[in-house]
Chains A and B, each alone.
Chain A
Amino acid sequence: MAFSKKVYSLIAAAVTAAALFIGIYICHWHEAEPAWTFAFYLDGSGNLLIEQQRNLREIIQGSRMLERANVVVYLDRGTAPAAPMIHAWKGKRIFHVSGTYSEILSHPVTPALPLSVERPRFTGMLLKGLAADEAHLFERHYVLESGRYVLKEKGPAPEEEQAMVAALQKSGYLFSEDTFTQTVSTESISRFFSLVRDNYPARHYAFFIAGHGVGWSSLRSMQPSSEKAITQQLNKSFYADAIKKGLIHNEPEILCLDLCLMADLETLYQLRQSAAYLVLGQGPMPAGGQDYRYLFQRITAESASRPEAMARAIFASSTYALDKSKLNSAITLIGTGPGIDAFITGFVDMIMAEGAQRIAELQKDTYTRLPRWGGQAHEMIDLKSFIEAVRAETGISGPDTSAFVLSAHSTSKKASGLSIYYPQDAKTFLANRDEYAGLDFNEATGERWLEILDLKHGRGCP
């Protein structure tokens, strides 16, 4: 063999060996990194406390067989009325689910420096709001590795660490014992899911929020509970914009909202960039959300799966819980891809083709109004019934939801999976109009739907 051929052969062998080595290294690196992080944000500060305590227990029990995954839970017990619980506490606590029930509850997660922060979050969130000297401390003690700013092994001195934690608490990035924050707030949502992403990284994230829900409207967010004579508690409800803002820079692949009344067109459009997949309930959901033990059975079977398969497993678990509860409602699995924008284009085209005036004059009885499930449910109509009514009246084929509705499951004759705002009462509409006008959906439709609502309630063209 010629000398040059020998050299080429040696180089080729070296390159092959290096590739194999890198391949093995990458393979091991991927094996070391959990495939999924599941994070649960449970609001028990109102009348769902007992149900949320139970959810925590179900999550701990259900996740025992889960491998290569992180499970993190936030539970707000509010003022903690008589709801006995081991390791009782007031207010919020965060738990990394690893160990027995008792061990987990006796070791809540405490605010600390993030172990590592994704690059865009480091610059776009963590450093934001810090003074220059504080930011400098972070830049000094974190090093960029594979797209994440990692806390250096030789960490800051104790007094520096204290100053850094204090700076993050002051800026609102970290939870602080000294500052009360409502669980239903952008700030608290953001803090929790930041903590999750900073300390429990994985290839994929699935976030769950459980509590009260009211869709896109913040106006009904604060309501007293039903108890009249015995106790009076204030229930605060999640709404679309608070969730959207709380998830900026923290977007998971899957967002499951175990909240009532979230599957409406306005809410899903508001949340279209918050996750790749949304699991939403159109009507009432079981009091405590879903059966989390059953959820983990489904999740465990899919633990190595790609996001869509995992989203379908979570959706199946949600529908199981709905069926078991015997409630009349519907649950929808949304894929937040370009299909939503295509639908909006078709939706606007339909209105333009027929004219807002004509649609506003269509016989309102042909639309299926949602039952008085609470919140503003009775101010909503079923989207499918609306499109079908317009189609029957005008012959226009109208837009198709199948491009983004991956699956829907209904136990109600009046709900097929998605709603749209269509209030009957002018007074209610006027009270909500300003907020509605500020929704992303209104902007995306060029205010066409709002124009219909204005015409319907005698406001004429704005």
Chain B
Amino acid sequence: MRLLSIIFVCTMIVGCSSDSSDDLAVLLASNPGSGLTYSSIADDMRECAPDLGSSAITLWEDGDNGWSGHVTYGVLKKHFDSTSGSESIYATVLLVDETLSAVVENMSLSAWESQGEWSGGGWDVTHELVDGNVTLPSIFGGGVVSDFENYLTISGTVDESQYDSYFHYKQAGDDGIEKILYRFENAVDNECGAIYATRNSSTEDITVWIASHKAPGAIPADGSVHENDEFRCLLYFEGNIEAQSFKFKLKTDAATGWAFWGGGSTASDDDYIAVRGTDEADSQTYANDGGGVTDDSADTTYVVLTFGDMKDDAYDGGGYPKNGTAANLAAETDSSVGYIDLGDENCLYADIAAVQAFKYPEEKSELGFADN
């Protein structure tokens, strides 16, 4: 069984000979920490999905098609590389991992088990033990979670910007399901984000909702020129750590609306991954209506390839990308095509209406923050 993500580590000092007693004293004095550790959500996602990230891959040269796994700004590289910046599916989660692990590891066991306030390492933290319903941000569907146990507010100045974070947590108890709701806001950079993640220690399933909103004010009018440095994104990810399989769907305000979905397995280099999308997902920039996506047409293109192909510069694309027509999809022989075939049990979209209904957050309020 997978270990609980936040675990209480009992530091065990093994027997030492008498002449090392001085070292032992130093060890105890220097390690009085609670032993709380935090298990990365991004790592779990990367157990399931590809991470093409490396210190060299950022230097990959331009190829001749935008889907190529080795193209600098290619679709696959953009989304499946930890170092690709905001457009990586791991970007927001990495930020959250960073904060949570630092905060949790600086909490004492007693602070974790009781309510109160404490400051440390530049963060001001309040901790409440919660018992009641918590409504998820509307961008995540606004459902109610009734079994959160801990609620922390975390405030601090980071790189001259004020960060305020709000963290609900449920340990993997008897039901084996751990739940994390984390929202953060950096008012100076007009940036906020939210994550709702669950991990099931019995089934090894993880689900992650991620929403990002970086903009100083209201969304520009439909058809406006794209604003530099603004970024809005909604991502839903499902994975199974044991099977090393995943599926996802995302929508951003990049280009004329960026829609991208698919899934597959990274268990071996021979396992298949299928992804489909378009950079003209909306009827016009900022329309966020999915009006550019249709089924059975050339409006979307897709790629089916093995995990090994995705990492192989010599892979010639195998005839992909192909248009997302019903005939093309029906002709695919590998079952991974189900991840991109609307209505298939493996596809996160039942139909074209579901694609169009999956919208990035237009306002901060959808993440639970007051609009500017």
Contact = CB atoms under 8 A, between A and B. Distances in A.
Interface stretch (A46-54, A112-120, A175-183, A392-400): A46-54
Interface string A60-94: 01001101100000000000111111111010000
B120 A102 contact: yes
B161 interface: yes
Most buried by A among B98, B156, B229: B98
Given A83-B95, A225-B83, A67 B23 contact: yes
A150 interface: no
B20 A67 contact: yes
A105 B59 CA distance: 32
Interface string B97-127: 1110111011000000000000011110000
Interface string A200-234: 00000000000111100000100101111111010
Contacts of B64: none
Contacts of A85: 98-99, 102, 158
Interface string B112-150: 000000001111000000000000000000000000000
Given A226-B84, A372-B61, A327 B54 contact: yes
Interface SS of chain A: helix, strand, loop or mixed?
loop
Contact of A67 (B27, B54, B191, B228): B27
A101 B102 contact: yes
Interface stretch (A129-137, A159-167, A283-291, A347-355): A283-291
Interface stretch (B70-78, B234-242, B363-371): B70-78
B58 A102 contact: no
B254 interface: yes
B106 A226 contact: no
Nearest to B16: A67
Contacts of A345: none
B59 A375 contact: yes
Interface in B31-57: 31-33, 37, 40, 50-57
A98 interface: yes
Contacts, number: 193
B175 interface: no
Nearest to B37: A61
Interface stretch (B284-292, B310-318, B332-340, B344-352): B310-318
A67 B20 CA distance: 9
A146 B161 CA distance: 51
Nearest to A289: B55
Given A67-B23, A230-B231, A287-B83, A86 B55 contact: no
Interface in B277-321: 307-308, 311-314
A259 interface: yes
B86 interface: yes
A261 interface: yes
Interface in A255-273: 259-261
B174 interface: no
Contacts of A220: 59
Interface of B: 11, 19-20, 23, 27, 30-33, 37, 40, 50-61, 70, 72-73, 77-78, 81-87, 94-95, 97-99, 101-103, 105-106, 120-123, 156-159, 161, 163, 184, 186, 189, 191, 228-229, 231, 254, 266, 269, 307-308, 311-314
Given A82-B95, A286-B53, 16 more contacts: A61-B105, A82-B159, A82-B161, A83-B159, A84-B163, A84-B184, A86-B123, A105-B121, A220-B59, A225-B58, A227-B87, A230-B85, A284-B55, A286-B54, A372-B61, A373-B56
